[in-house]
């Protein structure tokens, strides 16, 4: 959106962007941008909090009336964090990784076993909430995990299950489904974990998290530029590797 703002402005329409990644906004230099310290995918903050979301929108629209003599580029930080990004001490994760090797094949096996172990928790979560966000890859959760595991083992599928998707795109969708499976399973144990709690558990305390760090490294080392690009979608942002 930061880049798109330049084209909109060139057509004579004042534009303001809401930026979730500040370094990206600094590089693309949109005419006006409001940086918000929220989770990716939540540019207005917590879902359902109308009052807070209005505050974010108003802060962004206020940039349209700032005199341009203050500079050709205006980047302002929103002052408040997501009010729901507070850890719940009552929440307990459904499992934590115990032992296991760090070789790609070992991580692939641990990932598949862990997903089987989490299946009842995921089913309970879906039943309680009467919905699931898993389904982007059109694979069942176990099949999505197996697809990711195949990349870890170095047996990259040449014919993805969905004929209209390339192997790389299927990998991205399978990764999204796998992450959603874990985060939804995490909701079955009582309490109301914050999204940060869930993400920290997933990336730091599960075999899946360790597997994704290994997968990201493999993709970055690939000679295929498409695979190197896909590595950016494996681990969002900058996170400390397990044990790091």
Please write the tens of the pLDDT for every residue from 46-74: 878 899 999 999 999 999 887 655 555 68
**162 and 217 together in one domain:** yes
Q: What is the tally of structural domains in the chain?
A: 2
Q: Is residue 93 part of a domain?
A: no
**176 and 133 together in one domain:** yes
Query: What pLDDT is recorded for position 244?
Result: 56
Q: Is residue 180 part of a domain?
A: yes
- Parallel/antiparallel/unpaired status of strands 17-19 and 74-77: unpaired
CA distance 56 to 107: 41
**118 and 61 together in one domain:** no
Share of the chain above pLDDT 70, in %: 92
State yes or no: pLDDT of 238 exceeds 90.
no
Element (H, E) at 2: helix 2-10
Q: Is residue 115 part of a domain?
A: yes
CA distance 201 to 208: 10
Query: What pLDDT is recorded for position 70?
Result: 53
Query: What pLDDT is recorded for position 14?
Result: 86
**166 and 50 together in one domain:** no
Q: Is residue 87 part of a domain?
A: no
Tokens of 145: 């995990």
Residue 76 backbone phi and psi in degrees, to 5: -120, 140
**116 and 220 together in one domain:** yes
Q: Is residue 218 part of a domain?
A: yes
**147 and 108 together in one domain:** yes
Query: What pLDDT is recorded for position 163?
Result: 75
Which of residues 58, 77, 96 is at a domain's end? 77
Q: What's the whole-number mean pLDDT along residues 117-141?
A: 94
**115 and 19 together in one domain:** no
Per-residue pLDDT tens over the stretch 155-172: 887 776 777 888 899 999
Regarding pTM above 0.85, the answer is no
Range of the domain at 36: 2-77
Q: Are 186 and 206 in contact, with CB atoms under 8 Å apart?
A: no
Q: Is residue 89 part of a domain?
A: no
Q: Which residue has the higher pLDDT, 2 or 223?
A: 223
**192 and 121 together in one domain:** yes
**27 and 65 together in one domain:** yes
Q: Is residue 85 part of a domain?
A: no
Nearest to 137 by CA among 181, 190, 93, 74: 181
Three-state SS for 198-214 is HHHHHHHHCHHHHHHHH
**56 and 113 together in one domain:** no
Q: Given its phi and psi angles, is residue 88 left (phi above 0), alpha (psi -120 to 50 degrees) or beta?
A: beta
**119 and 188 together in one domain:** yes
CA distances from 197 to 111, 141, 147 (A): 20, 22, 26
Per-residue pLDDT tens over the stretch 176-208: 999 999 999 999 877 888 888 888 899 999 999
**53 and 109 together in one domain:** no
Q: Is residue 99 part of a domain?
A: no
């Amino acid at each position: 959106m930061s880049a798109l703002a330049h084209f909109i402005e060139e057509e004579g329409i004042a534009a303001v962007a809401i930026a979730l990644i500040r370094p990206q906004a600094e590089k693309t230099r949109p005419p006006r941008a409001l940086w918000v310290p929220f989770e990716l995918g939540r540019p207005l903050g917590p879902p359902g909090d109308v009052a807070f979301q209005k505050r974010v929108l108003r802060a962004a629209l206020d940039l349209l009336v700032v005199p341009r003599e203050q500079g050709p580029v205006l980047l302002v930080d929103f002052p408040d964090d997501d009010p729901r990004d507070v850890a719940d001490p009552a929440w307990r994760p459904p499992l934590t990784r115990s032992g296991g090797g760090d070789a790609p094949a070992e991580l692939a096996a641990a990932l598949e076993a862990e997903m089987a172990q989490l299946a009842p928790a995921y089913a309970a979560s879906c039943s309680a909430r009467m919905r699931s966000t898993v389904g982007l890859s059109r694979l069942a959760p176990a099949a999505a995990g197996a697809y990711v595991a195949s990349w870890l083992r170095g047996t990259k599928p040449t014919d993805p299950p969905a004929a209209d998707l390339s192997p790389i795109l299927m990998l991205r969708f399978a990764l999204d489904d796998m992450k959603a499976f874990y985060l939804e399973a995490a909701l079955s144990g009582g309490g109301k974990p914050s999204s940060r709690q869930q993400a920290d558990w997933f990336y730091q305390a599960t075999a899946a998290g360790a597997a994704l760090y290994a997968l990201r490294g493999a993709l970055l080392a690939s000679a295929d530029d498409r695979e190197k690009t896909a590595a950016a979608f494996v681990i969002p942002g900058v996170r400390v590797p397990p044990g790091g």
